[in-house]
């Protein structure tokens, strides 16, 4: 069975009633030979409550990180992600 990063991210948040995933890959100008650029869209819904920023943000952050890990190479740091600071 192959690795499915989007499916893994969705599985971690199975308490949400429904999720739709769609994606595409691009290989062409601007992408190094032997590589591809992956895009995906996730839509989360729940019937019993309003989704706050927290539940929506967690899967989105995981979906960005998992494909980079599955390729075996670290990706560029996402400037939108907050750094945690523990003292």
Write out the two tokens for 63: 């979906």
pTM for the whole structure: 0.30
| Whole-number pLDDT of residue 7 | 54
| Whole-number pLDDT of residue 79 | 47
Extents of the domains making up the chain: 5-70
Strands 37-45 and 18-26: antiparallel
Q: Which of 13, 24, 20, 11 is nearest to 56 (CA)?
A: 13
Q: What is the mean pLDDT of each run of 10 residues along the chain (87 residues)?
A: 51 51 77 81 68 59 49 48 48
* Exposure b/e, 41-57, CB count within 10 A at least 16 = b: ebebeeeeeeeeeeeee
Query: Residue 37 belongs to what H/E stretch?
Result: strand 37-45
């Amino acid at each position: 069975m192959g690795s499915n990063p989007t499916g893994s991210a969705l599985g971690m948040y199975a308490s949400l009633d429904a999720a739709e995933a769609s994606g595409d890959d691009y290989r062409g100008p601007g992408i190094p030979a032997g590589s591809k650029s992956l895009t995906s869209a996730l839509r989360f819904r729940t019937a019993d409550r309003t989704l706050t920023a927290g539940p929506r943000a967690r899967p989105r952050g995981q979906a960005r990180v998992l494909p980079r890990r599955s390729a075996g190479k670290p990706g560029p740091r996402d400037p939108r992600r907050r750094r945690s600071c523990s003292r």
